[in-house]
């Protein structure tokens, strides 16, 4: 390994902003580029590169021209489309699973079959290729029932149908669109948790646990989104239940990757629900989550860049040290998100301080006058000795800001501080 080297991060959201900041903190990293990035990242010394995340040839040319040591892939689209395979064909080091392994996120059916094959606890499920079969299959499930599009949906492809009419309507709607396969799943109840495992062919390490908030509005109301806020740690999760998650879910998942012959170098995200019958997997992702990344990476005492460097070089991974502090983030989203988010609203100015940090996502314009560009715009973060302390800092800060045609949840962290719902 060189004394200091340059790295490239693929993506443009708050997750990638957090990844870039964490890599920049390392003594072994000289420069961090992000393609395509967003203008807000430049506040933290990140160099944005105007290359789309799916322009593989242009990205590879940039890597070669700028002597990039390795590339870190943030978003799922590029992974499922085979960016890792494309880079590896030219012996370019890259962090992320190849296209075959990425089907654990790219296809809900593939992921569920993997769990079944390798004895990872999950919901009862069935996949259907026609409207007729799906409507017949619906009769085998109790209500409410979970309906999932089989492909990528950026966190918005899940419907929990409360009654048969709603379920039938959603099934017909999905097949009328571009879906040729859907998955029906048993509805599971219990608190949800996010576990991120850094994996290579020799080793794995587990990052701090987080809890995401998928629903758009307070008290888990409204449609599913990509995530409206997160916090870490999760004090309501007992050590006994955590150890059960490692034994029953994490270990067989990693073992399954090996036995399936998946050449996995990247992050395996495991979305868990702690049911009355123990932990069960809701979904796999093949990358870091958003907005969980924004609250997980600041809790690492150990060197994130050295962890990733060891992973891409297929070496034994360094141990992870976790700081005894809490981190909480609240996502600011455009009015109308997730269905029809508006664009172009002026955003208030934010100044990073010891109390507050901001990870930018869908923003455009000049750094002195940012505007929203649809969807989730940014994440406001704070740290504290406890979740309650971090929560108070974030919401006190947000009360000082005037937002134009934006919204955010007012209850991020309540499940930890007041054990609500």
Q: What is the pLDDT of residues 90-132, one digit of tens each?
A: 999 999 999 999 999 998 889 999 999 999 999 999 999 999 9
Which tokens is 53 given?
């995340």
CATH number of the CATH domain containing 21: 3.40.50.20
Q: 181, 170 in Cβ contact below 8 A?
A: no
Give which of 18, 408, 35 is closest to 228, Cα–Cα. 408
Which residues 6+ apart lie within 8 Å of 174 measured at CB? 147, 149, 182
Q: Which of 153, 186, 219 is the last residue of a domain?
A: 186
**Calpha distance 387→326 (Å, rounded):** 5
**Calpha distance 129→292 (Å, rounded):** 33
156 vs 377, more confident: 377
Residue 280 located in a structural domain: no
Mean pLDDT over all residues of the chain? 95
Residue 50 located in a structural domain: yes
Location of structure tokens 């040729």: 180
Average of per-residue pLDDT across 315-326: 96
Residue 9, CA atoms < 13 Å, CB-side half-sphere? 31
88 and 137 inside one domain: no
Domain count of the fold of the chain: 2
Claim: this prediction has a pTM higher than 0.95: no
Average of per-residue pLDDT across 386-403: 96
Average of per-residue pLDDT across 239-254: 98
172 and 128 inside one domain: yes
Q: Which of 161, 186, 211 is the last residue of a domain?
A: 186
94 and 128 inside one domain: no
- Span 214-240, pLDDT tens digits: 999 999 999 989 999 999 999 999 999
DSSP 256-287: HHHHTT----EEEEEEEEEETTEEEEEEEESS
- Residues spanned by the domain of 159: 124-186
Average of per-residue pLDDT across 76-89: 97
Statement: residue 154 has pLDDT above 60: no
11 and 90 inside one domain: yes
In the chain, pLDDT over 90 holds for what percent of residues?
A: 90
15 and 89 inside one domain: yes
Integer CA distances (angstroms), 157 to 8, 183, 196, 278, 411, in order: 29, 11, 21, 25, 24
Question: 3-class DSSP state for residue 158?
Answer: strand
Which residues 6+ apart lie within 8 Å of 351 measured at CB? none
Average of per-residue pLDDT across 312-318: 96
Bin 407: left if φ > 0, else alpha if -120 < ψ < 50, else beta: beta
Give the pLDDT score at 421. 46
Q: 183, 148 in Cβ contact below 8 A?
A: yes
Give the pLDDT score at 153. 57
91 and 137 inside one domain: no
144 and 181 inside one domain: yes
- Span 250-274, pLDDT tens digits: 999 999 999 999 989 999 999 999 9
**Calpha distance 209→39 (Å, rounded):** 30
CATH number of the CATH domain containing 138: 3.30.1490.20
Residue 33 located in a structural domain: yes
């Amino acid at each position: 390994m060189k004394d200091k080297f340059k790295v490239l991060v693929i993506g443009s959201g708050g997750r990638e902003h957090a990844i870039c900041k964490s890599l920049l903190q390392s003594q072994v990293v000289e420069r961090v580029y992000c393609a395509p990035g967003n203008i807000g990242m430049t506040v933290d010394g990140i160099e944005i590169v105007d290359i789309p995340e799916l322009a593989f040839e242009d990205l590879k040319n940039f890597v070669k021209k700028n002597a990039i040591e390795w590339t870190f892939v943030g978003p799922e689209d590029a992974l499922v489309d085979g960016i890792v395979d494309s880079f590896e064909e030219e012996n370019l080091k890259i962090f992320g699973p190849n296209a075959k392994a990425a089907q654990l996120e790219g296809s809900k059916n593939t992921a569920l079959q993997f769990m079944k094959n390798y004895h990872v606890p999950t919901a009862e499920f069935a996949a259907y290729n026609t409207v007729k079969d799906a409507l017949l299959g619906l009769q085998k499930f109790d209500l409410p029932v979970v309906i999932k599009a089989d492909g990528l949906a950026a966190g918005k492809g899940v419907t929990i149908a409360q009654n048969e009419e709603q379920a039938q309507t959603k099934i017909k709607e999905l097949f009328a669109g571009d879906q040729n396969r859907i998955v029906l799943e048993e509805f599971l109840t219990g608190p949800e948790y996010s576990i991120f495992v850094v994996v290579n062919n020799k080793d794995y390490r587990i990052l701090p646990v987080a809890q995401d908030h998928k629903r758009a509005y307070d008290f888990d109301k409204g449609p599913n989104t990509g995530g409206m806020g997160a916090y870490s740690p999760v004090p309501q999760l007992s050590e006994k239940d955590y150890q059960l998650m490692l034994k029953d879910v994490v270990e067989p998942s990693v073992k399954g990757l090996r036995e399936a012959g998946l050449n996995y170098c990247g992050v395996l995200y495991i979305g868990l629900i702690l049911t009355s019958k123990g932990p069960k997997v809701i979904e796999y992702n093949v990358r870091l989550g958003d907005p969980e990344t924004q609250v997980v990476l600041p809790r690492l005492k150990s060197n994130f860049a050295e962890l990733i460097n060891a992973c891409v070089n297929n070496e034994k991974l360094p141990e992870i040290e976790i700081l005894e502090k809490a981190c909480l983030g609240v996502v600011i989203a455009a009015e109308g998100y997730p269905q029809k988010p508006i664009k172009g609203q002026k955003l208030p100015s934010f100044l990073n301080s010891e109390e507050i940090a901001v990870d930018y996502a869908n923003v455009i314009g000049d750094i002195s006058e940012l505007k929203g560009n649809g969807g989730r715009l940014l994440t406001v973060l704070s740290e504290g000795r406890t979740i309650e302390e971090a929560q108070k800092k974030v919401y006190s800060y947000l009360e000082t800001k005037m937002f134009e045609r934006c919204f955010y949840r007012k209850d991020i962290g309540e499940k930890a501080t007041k054990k609500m719902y």
